[in-house]
Amino acid sequence: MAYDEKLASFRQARLNPFDRGEEEDGAEDGKIPPRLEAKSELYCSEARTHGSERTMDLGLAEDHFSRPVGSLAACDVEHLEQAIEECKRLILELPEHSERQKDTVVKLIHLRLKLQELKEPEEEEPNLRVLLEHRFSKEKSKSVKQTCDKCSAIIWGLIQTWYTCTGCYYRCHSKCMNLINKPCVRSKVSHQSEYQLSICPEIGLDRQDYRCAECRTPVSLRGVPSEARQCDYTGQYYCSTCHWNDTAIVPARVIHNWEFEPRKVCRSSMRYLALMMSRPVLKLKEINPLLFNFVEELVEIRKLRQDVLLMKPYFTTCKEAMEARLLFQLHERQHFVENDDMYSLQDLIEVASGRLSCSLTEIHTTFAKHIKLDCERCQAKGFVCELCKEGDILYPFDSHTSVCHDCSAVFHRDCYYDNSTTCPRCARMSERKQDDPPDVKDVFT
């Protein structure tokens, strides 16, 4: 029992580091016991020592990204502002380029974003909005860095709502929606599908009353109050908000000079040119027919397109070709199977780079192989030269043949141009018309 009593007293002494007698005496006198007072002073000194560290860690250790239940927003804003100030002070005190300084900068960014979110509470925005023929769709991307086309500021997708027009890809903040005064460029494309074909038709800044051609902001060549920037496509001057020094290939320079160097254009011209890029609206033989005399690649492309049009009747009447969907290889250039004189700006760019010649030659070879080798029905639609009646089966797209413009009969080129008589097939068809009895309608007319 003596051993157990000693062990119990030892445990009691460890649990209570203060002397029980002094504690009882101090309690009776209404004073703090000496040991307890010393201990409390120690705790107060430690609290004062670590007070600044706790303040410095405010915002670094506490969780400010989850709203406390039952707390006021004003308190959160005050705490966040205090944490931001402490983070800024701590960044200046820490060593340059240290890991802790980098972590503190990241924390500061998050705290500022959270403070902005509290000051500007997010409201539920509609997913689709229609304005000035724009069809704005709410974006869900939070990580892609974008720039607002209205205010020219960065769109922070993490905390800001932003929209993109599905027609012209105009991007803007939700708060900038009501300030937009530019109609959708796609409506202009659908109503006016043609290019400005004059090279930089400048009218002068004085004719614009020294104002931006789009938003009417005062501009000058000296940059006061805003820099005047010329668009190489329209020839007009714009402010820095409407002209971001974007570059694009100008169609007028391509058609008249065969020049593909990108030029500075305004934002609206850049969108218009991007939407018109693949539209076949350029009729080169009327706009600039001399271009074919200087650009050999255009002559080659024109011959390939003419051959494709001659192959088209074979495929439209061939079951195997329809099942194989051979003409679908030109689905990206539908105008190639409709005519041979309309070009898009994208076609001309690929002509200059050589990509169009390679791809179209490959398609031409595939089409010719089907007609001449793979399909018996298409082979049976070949021609025999009726002038010399010698040689192999001829097809209208062969390079050594000529086609009669009246009856579409095919002959050897040398035979066709050396023969001074008329086409044998045309003569035969005229004789049949003379031998046939007249129609009843022709008698009474």
pLDDT at 155 over 90: no
Buried-exposed string 102-112: b where 16+ CB fall within 10 A, e elsewhere: eebeebbeebe
Residue 430 has what pLDDT?
Answer: 85
Stretch 305-333: mean pLDDT, rounded?
Answer: 91
Residue 349 has what pLDDT?
Answer: 96
423 falls in which pLDDT band (50, 70, 90)?
confident
Stretch 427-433: mean pLDDT, rounded?
Answer: 85
Query: Which H or E run includes 72?
Result: none
Residue 309 has what pLDDT?
Answer: 93
Residue 128 has what pLDDT?
Answer: 78
Could you give the percent of the chain with pLDDT greater than 70?
A: 77
DSSP 421: S
421 falls in which pLDDT band (50, 70, 90)?
low
Residue 347 has what pLDDT?
Answer: 95
Residue 9 has what pLDDT?
Answer: 56
pLDDT at 47 over 50: no
pLDDT per position as a tens digit, 267-306: 989 989 998 999 999 999 999 999 999 999 999 999 999 9
**Dist. CA 108–CA 60, nearest whole Å:** 9
Is the CB of residue 150 less than 8 Å from the CB of residue 174? no
Of the ranges 1-10, 89-98, 356-365, the best mean pLDDT one: 356-365
Mean pLDDT of the chain: 79
**Dist. CA 251–CA 363, nearest whole Å:** 27
171 falls in which pLDDT band (50, 70, 90)?
confident
Stretch 184-193: mean pLDDT, rounded?
Answer: 76
Residue 5 has what pLDDT?
Answer: 59
Residue 417 has what pLDDT?
Answer: 75
Does residue 252 or residue 214 have the better pLDDT? 252
In angstroms, the Cα distances linking 326 to 244, 308, 331, 383 are 44, 11, 10, 23
